[in-house]
Structure 1
Amino acid sequence: MINLQPYQNPQYFAILVIALVPLMIGLYYGKRFRWYESLISLLFIFLIFDADKWQQGVSLLGFVACQTLIVGAYSYYRTNKRFKNRFSLFVLAIVLAIAQLVIVKFTPLFIAGHDSILGFLGISYLTFKTVGMIMEIRDGAIKEFNLSKFLHFLLYFPTISSGPIDRYRRFIKDYERVPSQDKYVTLIGKGLHNIFLGFLYKFIFGYLFGTVMLPQLQQAAMANRHTAWLGLSFSLLGYMYCYSMYLFFDFAGYSLFAVGISYLMGIETPVNFNKPFISHNLKDFWNRWHMTLSFWFRDYIYMRFVFWAMKHKILKSRIAMANIGYLLLFLLMGVWHGETWYYIVYGLFHALVLISTDAWLRFKKKHRQQIPSNRWTNYFAIFMTFNTVCFSFLIFSGMLDKIWFS
C-alpha cells in the first residue's frame, strides 16, 4: 500500500501537484476557488486517514465537531451583550478545548503500552489553533464566528499534521483576498524555492544524518555504555551533534514543504525556522526555532500568566515573576512532548538556561563598558549557544535514558 502521509514520498507530491494546478490557474487569473480548496483539503485529509488509520479519521471528525461547538458557543456568549463577561466560562471553554488532547497525552501514562483511541495525527496543532481563537475571542480581537471560515482554517491540509501554527486572523486575511498577478508570481517563486529546499533538507541531509549516520553512532554509544568512559564520551558526542542535525533538517524540511505549498495556494503561512544555529543566546534561539510554536506558547501562556500574576500582585519582583513564567512555560512544553522524565528535564533545562541568560543580559547591560563586545565574542556566544542547544537535544532524544537504564 502506498504511504500517503504528508510529504513522505514522490507519490504524495505527484498527487499534490495535480490537485493544485486548477487552483493555481485560478489564482493567477485573479480568482480563488474556495469550494475547490475545501475539496482538495478533504481529499488529502482522507488520504492521511484512509485504510489502517480510519480510526484516527473518526477521532478527527469527533474533534472537529466538539471544537466547532466550543468555539461557536463561546463566540456567541462573548458577542451577545445579554451575557456578563465571566472568567469561569472562559476557563471552561479552554478546559473543554484541550480535554481531548490531555486525554491523548496522558493515556499512555496510566495505561502502559496503549495509545488513546481519541488520538490522531496533528491533534496538538489543531488544539493550539482553537485555544488561540478562544483567547482572541475573549480579547475582542475576533468579532464573529464564521463556520465555513473556521473549518477551512482548522482543516487547512498543508499544515494539519505538524504545523506551522497559523493564527486565525492572519489566515483569514489571506483567505478572503486574492493576490495580484505580480504578487502571486512572486509567491510561486518563493513556494517552489521552499519546496526544493525542503527536498534538500529532508530527503538528503535528513536521510544522511538520520538514516545513514545516526544508527551507527547510537550503536557505538550503546556498545560503550558499560566499558570505556572515553569511548562513550566520543560516541555520545557524535550522537548528540548528529541527532541535532537530523532533528533540524527533518523538521525544517517538513515545514518548508508546508510553507511552500501554502504559497502556491495564495496563503502566506508563517515560516517556522530562521537559521537557529547562529543564535547568540537561548532567547535568540527560541525566536528562530519552531517559531510558530514558541511564539504561540509565549503569547498565549507566558505573557498571559505574567500579566495575570502581576495584576494580582502574586510577587513584587518582575524578574522573579518572569522566571516563574519560564519554569511554567517550559515545563508545559516538556510535558506536551511526552510524560517521560527526559522531556520534562529538557523543558526545565531550557527554563533554567533562559533564566541564566536573562540574568547575564541584565549584568551585561549594567557593565557594558567593562565587558568586551566584538566579532570574536559574538562567535563565542554562537558556539556556546549551539552546544547548549545540542546538549538539550541529547536529553530530548532519550538516549541518556537508554544508556543509564538499559
Structure 2
Amino acid sequence: MISFVPYASFRFFIVAGILMIPIIVSGLIGKRMRLYNDFVTVVMIFLIFYGQPAQFVSIIIFVLWQTGLVKGYLELRKRNNRSVYFYVATALAVFPLFIVKLSADVPALNFFGFLGISYVSFRTIEMIMDIRDGLIKSVSVAEFLRFVLFFPTISSGPIDRYSRFKKDQAVVPTRKEYKELLYLGLNKIFLGFLYKYIIGYLVHEYWMGSSMMNGNSLFSIWMYMYAYSMYLFFDFAGYSQFAIGLSYLMGIRTPENFNKPFLSRNIKDFWNRWHMSLSFWFRDFIYMRFVYTMIKKKRLKNRYLISDLGLALNFMIMGFWHGFLLQYIIYGIYHAVVFISFNRFEQFNKKHSIWSKDNRWVHALSVLITFHVICFSFLIFSGRLNFLW
C-alpha cells in the first residue's frame, strides 16, 4: 500500500494541491465554500488512514468517544459544575492516549492508535477544560469535527485552540486578506521544503550518517548531539511550516510553532520559542491550573515552592507525553531541573546583579550556554545515551 503520511511524499502535496484549487479560487473572490472544505477534510482523512485499517478504525472510535465526552460533559456542566464531572471527563479523554503511549512498553496494548492521536487529544482535552471554565457554552457536532479533524495539523500540530479556530471558521477573509494569506501560505510551504527536504535531509544523510558518529566515544556522541539537534529542528519545523502554510490556504491562521529557538538566551526564552503551541498548551492547562489550584485552596503558602512543583509536574507530564521510555522521562526531569534552577538564579541575580542582560557579551554567552543545555536535552531525548542506563 502506497504511503499517504501527511507531508512525507510529493504524492501528498500533489493530491492536496489539486483539492485546494477550488478553495483558493473561492478565497480570491472573497468567498468560502464550507461544504467543499468539509468534503476536502473527509477525503484527506480517508486517504491518510485508509491504507492502515487498524488506524482507520481507531480514529473513528476515537472521534465517536471524544464527541460523546465533550457533548456529555457540556450538558453536565450546564446542570452542575461539579469538580468530579470535570476530572472524570478529563481522565476519559486522556485514556486513549495513555493506552497508546503505554503500548510502547506493553505490546499487548498495541491494538489501538492512529497517526496524530497526541495532537488530536490535546484539542479535545482543551475543549473540556474550556467548558469547565465556562468559555465554551455550546458546540455543535459539525463544529467539533471541523476542529478535531482539521487535516493540515492532524499528524504533528501545531496545536490550535478551539476559540481561535472557530473565529477563523466564522469570519470569511476579504479578497485582500486572502491574497495575503495565500502569499504567506505558499511561502511557508516552500520554506518547509527547504527545511525538511533540503537542510534536514543533508543533516540526516551526511552528518548523522557519517562514520564519525559510530561508537560511543566522547567525540562521536558530542558530534551526534549537534547533528541530532539540527535535524530535529529542521525536520519538525519543516512539518510545521507545511501545516501552517496549508492552513493559510484554507483561510485558517494556525499559530506558529517555532521562533528561532537556538537564539534563546535562557531556558525560559527557549520554551517561548520552541514548539510554542505545545509549550503554551502545557503552560496554560498544566502549570497555570496547578498553581491556581494550590493558591485558591491554600494547600501551600510558599509561592516559589508552588511554582517549582508546577514546573516539575509540567515537564514530567511532557516527558511521559512523548512516551513511557526512560529517555523521555529523563528528558522531562532534566528540563524541570534546568527550569527551576534558572528561576532560582534569576531570584539571586535580582538581589546581587551578577549577570547583566544589557551587556552584549553576556547576551552572547547566555545564548551559547543555553544552546548547549538544550542540545544536551535533545541528546537524552534521542536515546543515544541509553547505553548509560
Quickly name the TM-score band, shorter chain normalised.
Answer: over 0.9
Q: Partners in 2 of 1:370 and 1:353 — Cα distance?
A: 17
Distance 1:181 1:357, change over 3 A: same
Shift of 1:336: 1.0
**Residue number in structure 2 paired with 1:142:** 136
Match for 2:318 among 333, 348, 353? Answer: 333
Quick one: distance in 1 between partners of 2:357 and 2:320?
39
Q: Shift of residue 326 of structure 1?
A: 0.8
Check whether the contact 1:104–1:119 (CA below 8 A) recurs between aligned residues: yes
**2:55 matched residue in structure 1:** 56
Report matched runs for 1:121-200 at 5 Å: 121-200=115-194
Deviation at 1:370, TM superposition (A): 7.6
Structure 2 equivalent of residue 228 of structure 1:
none
Q: In the alignment, which residue of structure 1 is the partner of 2:282?
A: 297
Tell me how far 1:101 sits from its aligned partner: 0.8
Runs (4+) off by over 3 Å: 219-222, 368-373
Match of 2:98 among 94, 97, 102: 102
Cα separation, 1, equivalents of 2:289 and 2:377: 26
- Name 2:349's counterpart in structure 1: 364
The one-letter amino acid of 1:33's match is M
Offset at residue 366 of structure 1 (A):
2.3
- What RMSD in Å do the two structures reach over aligned CA positions? 1.4
For 2:53, the aligned partner's letter is W
How do 1:326-405 and structure 2 match up within 5 A? Answer: 326-368=311-353, 371=356, 373-401=358-386, 403-404=387-388
Contact kept? 1:44, 1:157, Cα under 8 Å:
yes
Q: Distance in 1 between matches of 2:39 and 2:180?
A: 25
What TM-score do you get using the length of structure 2 for normalisation? 0.97
Question: Offset of 1:109 from its aligned partner?
Answer: 2.2
Q: Which residue of 2 aligns with 1:321?
A: 306
Kept after mapping to 1: 8 A contact 2:356/2:362: no
Distance 2:295 2:355 in 1: 34
- Mapped contact 1:56–1:117 kept (Cα < 8 A): no
Report the Cα distance in structure 1 between the residues aligned to 2:186 and 2:4, rounded to whole angstroms. 21
**Alpha carbons of structure 1 residues 151 and 370: separation in structure 2 relative to 1, 3 Å:** closer
Q: CA deviation at 1:55?
A: 0.9
Cα distance, 1:367–1:152 mapped onto 2, change above 3 Å: same
- 1:24 paired residue number: 24
1:239 corresponding residue in structure 2: 224
- CA positional deviation for 1:369: 7.7
TM-superposed deviation, 1:115: 5.6
Matched with 1:118 is 112
CA separation of 1:372 and 1:100: change in aligned 2, threshold 3 A: closer
1:108 CA displacement: 3.0
What SS is found at the alignment partner of 1:303?
helix
- Counterparts of 1:390 and 1:59, CA distance in 2: 35
Q: C-alpha separation between the residues in 2 aligned to 1:126 and 1:182? A: 32
Q: What do the CA deviations read for 1:319-355 (whole angstroms, capped 9, x no partner)?
A: 0110011111111111111112111111111001000
Deviation (angstroms), 1:27: 1.5
Shift of 1:235: 1.1
Residues 253-282 of structure 1, C-alpha deviation per residue, up to 9 Å, x if partnerless? 000000000001100000100110000100
**Secondary structure of the structure 1 residue equivalent to 2:103:** helix
Structure 1: which 5+ residue stretches go unaligned?
Answer: 226-231
Count of residue pairs brought into register by the alignment: 389
Identity %: 50
Q: 1:348 & 1:43 partners in 2: Cα distance?
A: 41
Return the letter of the residue paired with 2:29. Answer: Y
1:70 paired to 2:54 = no
Contact 2:30 2:178 in 1 (8 A): no
Q: Distance in 2 between matches of 1:23 and 1:190?
A: 16
Q: 1 CA distance for matches of 2:23 and 2:227?
A: 40
Shift in Å, 1:372: 7.0
TM-score, structure 1 normalization:
0.93
Please report how far the alpha carbon of residue 221 of structure 1 lies from its aligned counterpart in structure 2 after TM superposition.
4.4
Q: Offset at 1:211?
A: 2.6
**1:277 touches 1:285 (CA, 8 Å); kept in 2?**
yes
Rounded Cα–Cα distance in structure 1 between residues aligned with 2:38 and 2:312: 41
Q: Which amino acid aligns with 2:208?
A: L
Using the TM superposition, give the Cα deviation of residue 314 of structure 1 relative to its aligned residue in structure 2, in angstroms. 2.1
User: Residues 202-281 of structure 1: matches in 2 within 5 Å?
Assistant: 202-216=196-210, 220-223=212-215, 225=216, 232-281=217-266
